[in-house]
Structure 1
Amino acid sequence: MASTPAPTTEDGKPGAHRWYVLSLLTLTSAFSVADRLVFGILVEDIKAAFQLSDFQLGLLGGAAFSLVYVLAGFPAARLADRSTRKNIVAAAISFWSLMTAACGMATGFWTLFMARTGVGVGEGCSGPSSQSLVADFFARHELAKAMGFLTLGSTIGTATGLIVGGQLAEWFDWRWAFILMGLPGLLIGAVLYLTVREPPRGRYAPKGTDMAQLPLGRTIMSLVTNRVFMGLALGWAVQIMIGYALAFWMAAVMLRQFPISTGDVGLYLGFTFLLGGIPGPILGGYVTHWLTLRDERWRAWLPGVVSLGCVVPLALSLTSSGFTAFLVWFGLAYAIYVASQAGILSGIQASVEPASRGFAVAIALFFNNLVGQALGLAVIGAVSDALTPTQGPSALAVAVFGVCLVSGLASMAIFAWTAAQMGPSGYLEKMREG
């Protein structure tokens, strides 16, 4: 299907439509994360309803979603590199929204597991096309700022899942929380399909860039031999174990440590995610933009520094006996953590050729979800189960901190190595000059 070029100004640059598209894709990202992580605020209710262990909850939150997410992402990314990307995103959000609603009809562990796999299939088809679209609406020097705004979707989505999901669970029950959370995505899918105009592919690519899609084998080889791309992808996969730990397990930590209702946890924790998560990615995007104008290696250096830096306030949060101190330190930890995302996402797009961008995102999300979500959440659940006999209600908090500390140290080392592979002007330029 032929795409309609996005509106441009007289100098050939995209006009206001690109900001509309970025806003809509950010909203899509928000509901992707909300539908994925609303499970976190409902976890104690689901545990009681089906008599599940923390390890089983970790599987439902991670593996059930992630395994199919990464498998669906590859064909969707391949299609994104040659087809109309806005149609892929519109179809994806419509499908995962229906499957989110289906979670509310589960009768036990396995039916809930299957519904969660459906959510994973839909969301796996969205990310590559969304990021590829942004890269064709914003020039390279603007890309870090644009990706910083796109990252706001994860913050807004996490807060929405907690606040709205928690209130719906109190007003109705956990089943209706899933059903009602799934409905808005159907409207967003229709708006995407009807109003977004597809931009020219590779609009900002250097002159002479081959825009033809390479055969699958050559595409994979070009990416896995790209040291900067692989370093960013693997560093992100390890680092995002922190993000999933915070988004999925913190509500349960609060419910076990403080005498508070599910609705209040969702409200307080959700607003804390907003207070920390909105300035974090915006500031991170602008700081990354400012730093990379001087040296492209900051796309890797900055994520490495903040990955470890966020662990200190997280430790203060998890060891706080006061409710307010818990939230304040947590908000600071989350703000520091999300400041890294603009550098990672813009670095991935800037380190690969335009015809491979969608597939590059799919590979990055493959590692991201298998390591960061499936493995990370299951390990935290297993460690919590093992420590419960001796640590009691504090076992989950100890497990969360331990995994986040290891993740911060490992990701800092990976990002430092990645920066060493880059030149001051970027990896692609370094390779072309060589």
Structure 2
Amino acid sequence: MTAQAGPAGIDIGGSTAPLPKGARTVLITLCAVYVLNFLDRSLLGTLAKPIQESLQIDDAALGRLGGLYFALFYCLIAVPVGWLADRTNRVNVLVLACAIWSGATMACGFAANYPQLAIARMTVGFGEAGGVPPSYAIITDTIPPGRRGFAFGIYNLGPVIGAALGVAFGASIAAAFNWRWAFITIGAIGVVAAIIVRLLISEPPRGRYDANHDAAAKAPFWPTVRMFVTNPILMLMALGSGATQFITYGLGNFAALFLGREKGMSLGQIAIWYALVILIGMGLGMLASGRVIDRRASVSKSAYASVPAMSLAVAIPLYLGFVWAPSWPLALCFLTGVNFFNYFYLSSAVALVQEEVRPDQRVLASALLLLFMNFIGLGLGPTWVGWISSHFAAQGDAHSLQSALYTLTPFYLLAILLFAWLASLLRRRRSIAG
């Protein structure tokens, strides 16, 4: 493959291409917005116990709140928002989305009952649908090829830091005051952040690193959707990532409750130790996955699938150890490893989809990826864990949540099979092309 020239003669054919001026500011700012995105999203799981006690709801209702109700709005809005962002200013879409989800997060703190909290969480999902897809496309038009795996690894530290801060700040604020002030405080910070983003980031040229790209081209909606759902490579990546997220969201939305109920951790201990486990495990995993993917994918694109498959295989015994562990220190040791290996799929999925579609299709393609990933993972994972936990409890299981978490194990095997299938398709395409 011959190297391509980017702006100002930048050689973008290899992994050593220098970053253009301002790229680091863009990447750090977008990562900070993603931090707020996940911080708001993670509060519900972190504060599950006091919310359950305050509003008198069971695990099944909590699972629907953090899963199905949130994901329905998130997934349905993500696709039209992606189509709009492909045709308009992506930065403006991101700013508006940040303001909406942050305002809705504040509304969660004022909810007096379960229906009000459900409506507020749906609105959070509505806003967050406009956060990630535009950011993916902005990064792709800011960072040259060969550097994107690591760039998306940095960007995907947002969920890591956001989840850790959600645990640390959310639990600390709730312990010092109550769970409502955690939502109100963090939502207010997000509203201010939306203004700052508009001042720091400018819309990058579309397709700046893509040869022969017409910057005025506008991808049609339905043909782009049809292209995505009929492309086996894109669909296998979406389904494999969705199966993985079934595990990560099913676990993530109930981990704090599980550690408190089954392992005996206090809210103060969760604020410190569980937050550190998220930050260290997930953080190192995101950084390592970006580096590994950039290096391996430069040799063969099949690495976009084989690397997540291998990481999930390693995660299975660690996950079983976490659920089984008789004490919370041992459980957190296992969970650190789980968090490290569970998230190798994310940078792979984003980078592969961005490279497989045209520049004018990137935001919509990202939205479609998130539609499948989040409906399967975010929508069904927590809903399943909450429902099966309540079912086991009704059958007299004193450790119903522990039993429910064990039922996530088969989804590791499903995700591995889907990624292995994708890897074989990518290798076959390379052999045909070569």
Indicate conservation of the 8 Å contact 1:22/1:134, yes or no.
yes
When residues 189 and 390 of structure 1 are mapped into structure 2, their CA distance, relative to the original with a 3 A threshold, is same
Residue in structure 2 matching 1:406, options 391, 403, 410: 410
**Shift in Å, 1:351:** 1.4
Q: Alpha-carbon deviation of 1:9?
A: 5.9
Tell whether 2:293 aligns with 1:288. Answer: yes
- Note the 1:243-262 alignment, pairs <5 A: 243-262=248-267
Query: Can you list the C-alpha shifts for 1:191-234, whole angstroms capped at 9, x where unaligned?
Result: 11112121110112233578612322211122112211111111
One-letter amino acid matched to 2:208: R
Q: Residue in 2 aligned with 1:108? A: 113
Structure 1 residue aligned with 2:157: 152
Counterparts of 1:84 and 1:169, CA distance in 2: 38
For 2:429 and 2:272, locate their aligned partners in 1 and report how far apart those are by CA, in whole Å: 44
Compute the RMSD of aligned alpha carbons.
2.1
Distance 2:176 2:71 in 1: 30
Query: Which sits farther off after the overlay, 381-390 or 183-192?
Result: 381-390
Aligned to 2:245: 240
| Residue 272 of structure 1, aligned match among 274, 277, 299 | 277
Letter in 2 for 1:268: W
Aligned residues: 423
Over 3 Å counting, the alpha-carbon distance change for 1:119 and 1:85 in structure 2 is: same
Task: Give 1:425 deviation, angstroms.
Answer: 8.0
- Which of 420, 423, 426 is 1:419 aligned to? 423
What is the one-letter code of the residue matched to 1:36? R
Q: Structure 2 CA distance, aligned partners of 1:417 and 1:156? A: 32
Structure 2 CA distance for partners of 1:223 and 1:211, relative to 1, 3 Å: farther
Per the alignment, residue 15 of structure 1 pairs with 20
Check conservation: 2:241, 2:345, Cα contact below 8 A. Answer: no
Is the contact between residue 314 and residue 341 of structure 2 (CA under 8 Å) also seen in structure 1?
A: yes
Q: How does 1:117-136 map to 2 (within 5 A)?
A: 117-136=122-141
Equivalent in 27, 32, 36 of residue 27 of structure 1: 32
1:69-105 CA-to-partner distances (Å, cap 9, x unmatched) read 1111112101111211111111111110010010011
Q: Compute the TM-score of the two structures, normalised by the length of structure 2.
A: 0.93
Q: SS where residue 202 of structure 2 aligns? A: coil
TM-score by length of 1: 0.93
Q: Report the CA distance between 1:421 and its aligned residue.
A: 2.2
Q: Is the 2:308–2:345 contact (alpha carbons within 8 Å) kept by the matching residues of 1?
A: yes
Give the equivalent residue in structure 1 for 2:344: 339
Structure 1 contact 300–347 (Cα < 8 Å) conserved: no
Equivalent position of 1:71 in the other structure: 76
Cα distance in 2 for partners of 1:227, 1:360 equals 14
- On the 8 A contact 1:229/1:352 being kept in 2, the answer is no
Is the alpha carbon distance of 1:167 and 1:81 closer, same or farther for their aligned partners in structure 2, counting shifts above 3 Å? same
Asked if residue 163 in structure 1 is aligned to residue 164 in structure 2, the reply is no
- How far off its partner does 1:53 sit? 1.4
1:272 counterpart letter in structure 2: V
Q: Report sequence identity in percent.
A: 28
Partner of 2:60: 55
Aligned-partner Cα distance in 2 for 1:374–1:393: 26
Shift of 1:370: 1.4
Pick which of 93-102 and 264-273 moved more: 264-273
Alpha-carbon separation, structure 2, partners of 1:415 and 1:21? 31
Q: Secondary structure at the match of 1:207?
A: coil
Q: 2-side partners of 1:162 and 1:365: how far apart?
A: 24
In 1: Cα distance, 2:75 partner to 2:389 partner:
26
Aligned to 2:51: 46
- Check if 1:297 corresponds to 2:302: yes
Residue 275 of structure 2 aligns to which amino acid in structure 1? G
CA distance in 1, matches of 2:398, 2:135: 40
The CA distance in 2 between the partners of 1:106 and 1:377, in whole Å, is: 21
Q: Equivalents in 1 of 2:427, 2:219: separation in Å?
A: 26
How far apart are 1:107 and its partner, in Å? 1.3
